[in-house]
């Protein structure tokens, strides 16, 4: 679930913002062209990027006026950089932040640079990723597109907005699914007229005179083959800022969270904290299954230690037999319960139903819960929010029930597995989820 969205008042407008994490310093993410602080949490890669930033800072997100969850503005009266800078101040005040590091991406970098130069007392550091100083080519700024090229591009984007804009140019090597999601994310965050108007406004940006006045510690990061803003442009910008360090990273992605995140996040973390955290965990998409015996304590008391031990041994044997058959991996066995993972949700559902039916022959009633999500794999053990969610789903199951999250239900569409909607459930520590009971697997 996304963090709580709050609102800061900037003049007559409401600016949407979120605060995530409890780190020792504040970090404000200043997005590029268009953003939506609620939709951004839907995509695993963008969510992972933000969660990583929030792991070492108190991260503050916001939508610039005219986009996302913030108030709309007339397309003929779009804000200047100065007005958008006022929005940053309003958000910082509302969030109780006295000073913060700024992370500006693409067009957001222009505003972040202007803020850092204007309010050095409120800016502890500046990070610029894939930024430009000017958006129209001139003799003394040869990296930007010509005016004609820029206007033609804007017109094309406005015309294609409803049918789906092609963003492959912004991340040629990224998986098509992420690029398609990002295009949909933009469409859901601003109107076609608003999107085009913002691009026209961005075309007037020229922060070249601002760059030499920046005095706060600055990191400029650029991908080698970024096709939207060239690496030579990024290198020139870093040369203009007296305090800047330039880092060139391999890749062709302009979208902030596309491509290899760890290299960029490591540079940002080390620059802002002085150290780069050791990250040994791998992340994998997996379906987690939790089972436990209903009224186990009562049954154990009724049977006595010896007979209960024999029953548990038979239970474990049958569970492991079905895990092997359905290619599940046993991760942990705690008393009467099992925690297993599967590489496919349909197989996991069928395993859960077969396990439930098999142990019923022993006079045992099971409850089971399943969830699919990104898990952290460290030293052979699975962890992360997906694991906690699976455990909470299991706890919500009734005796004899196999209960799954909406994610699992959606992923097995077309498999023939039938479900009954069990409605929204508030799961402790992991938010509200719609759950489904398996009727026929």
- Judged by phi (left if over 0) then psi (alpha if -120 to 50, else beta), residue 171 lies in beta
Domain-terminating residue out of 244, 273, 302: 273
* pLDDT for 383: 78
Contact in structure between 303 and 366 (CB atoms under 8 Å): no
Q: What is the pTM of this model?
A: 0.66
What is the CATH number for 356? 3.30.70.1230
Q: What is the DSSP letter of 213?
A: G
Residue 1 in domain: no
pLDDT in tens, 325-353: 998 989 888 767 899 999 889 999 999 99
Is the domain of 303 the same as that of 259?
no
Is the domain of 348 the same as that of 241?
no
Domain-terminating residue out of 273, 305, 334: 273
Is the domain of 253 the same as that of 324?
no
What is the CATH number for 200? 3.40.50.1820
Domain-terminating residue out of 233, 248, 273: 273
pLDDT in tens, 266-289: 999 999 999 876 555 467 788 999
Is the domain of 34 the same as that of 54?
yes
Q: In what order do the strands lie in the sheet with 100-105?
A: 6-10, 13-20, 58-62, 26-30, 100-105, 123-129, 218-223, 244-249
Is the domain of 257 the same as that of 288?
no
Is the domain of 350 the same as that of 232?
no
pLDDT in tens, 182-240: 889 999 999 999 899 989 988 988 999 999 999 999 999 999 999 999 999 999 999 99
Number of domains in the chain: 2
How distant, in Å, are the alpha carbons of 144, 154, 196, 198 from that of 201? 15, 11, 9, 5
Is the domain of 91 the same as that of 42?
yes
Q: Please give the residue range of the domain that contains residue 115.
A: 6-273
Residue 104 in domain: yes
Is the domain of 400 the same as that of 371?
yes
Is the domain of 89 the same as that of 125?
yes
pLDDT in tens, 348-388: 999 999 999 999 998 889 999 999 998 877 656 787 788 88
């Amino acid at each position: 679930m996304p963090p709580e969205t709050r609102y800061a008042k900037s003049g007559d407008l409401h600016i949407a913002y979120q605060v995530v994490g409890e780190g020792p310093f504040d970090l404000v993410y200043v997005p590029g062209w268009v953003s939506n602080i609620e939709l951004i949490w839907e995509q695993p890669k963008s969510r992972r990027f933000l969660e990583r930033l929030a792991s070492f800072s108190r991260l503050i997100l916001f939508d610039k006026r005219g986009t996302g969850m913030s108030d709309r503005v007339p397309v003929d009266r779009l804000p200047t950089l100065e007005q958008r800078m006022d929005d940053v101040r309003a958000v910082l005040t509302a969030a109780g932040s006295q000073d913060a590091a700024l992370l500006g991406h693409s067009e957001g970098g222009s505003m972040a640079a202007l803020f850092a130069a204007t309010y050095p007392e409120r800016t502890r550091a500046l990070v610029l990723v894939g930024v430009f100083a000017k958006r129209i080519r001139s003799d003394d700024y040869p990296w930007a597109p010509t005016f004609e090229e820029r206007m033609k591009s804007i017109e094309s984007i406005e015309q294609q907005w409803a049918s789906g804009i092609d963003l492959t140019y912004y991340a040629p090597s990224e998986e098509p699914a992420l690029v398609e999601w990002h295009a949909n994310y933009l469409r859901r965050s601003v109107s076609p007229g608003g999107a085009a108007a913002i691009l026209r406004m961005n075309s007037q940006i020229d922060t070249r005179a601002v760059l030499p006045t920046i005095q706060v510690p600055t990191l400029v990061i650029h991908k080698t083959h970024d096709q939207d803003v060239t690496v030579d442009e990024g290198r020139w910008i870093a040369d203009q800022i007296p305090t800047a360090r330039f880092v060139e990273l391999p890749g062709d992605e302009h979208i902030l969270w596309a491509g290899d995140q760890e290299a960029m996040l490591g540079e940002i973390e080390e620059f802002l904290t002085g150290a780069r955290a050791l990250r040994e965990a791998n992340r994998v998409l997996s379906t987690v299954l939790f089972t436990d015996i209903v009224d186990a304590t009562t049954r154990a008391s009724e049977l006595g230690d010896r007979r209960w031990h024999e029953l548990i041994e038979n239970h474990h044997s049958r569970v492991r037999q079905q895990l092997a058959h359905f290619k599940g991996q046993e991760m942990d066995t705690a008393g009467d319960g099992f925690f297993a993972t599967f590489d496919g949700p349909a197989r996991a559902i069928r395993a859960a139903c077969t396990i439930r039916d098999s142990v019923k022959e022993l006079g045992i009633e099971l409850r089971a819960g399943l969830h699919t999500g990104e898990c952290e794999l460290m030293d052979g053990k699975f962890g992360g929010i997906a694991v906690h969610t699976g455990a909470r789903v299991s706890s919500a199951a009734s005796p004899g029930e196999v209960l799954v999250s909406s994610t699992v239900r959606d992923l097995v569409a077309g498999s023939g597995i039938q479900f009954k909607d069990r409605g929204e459930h508030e799961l402790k520590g992991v938010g509200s989820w719609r759950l489904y009971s398996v009727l026929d697997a």
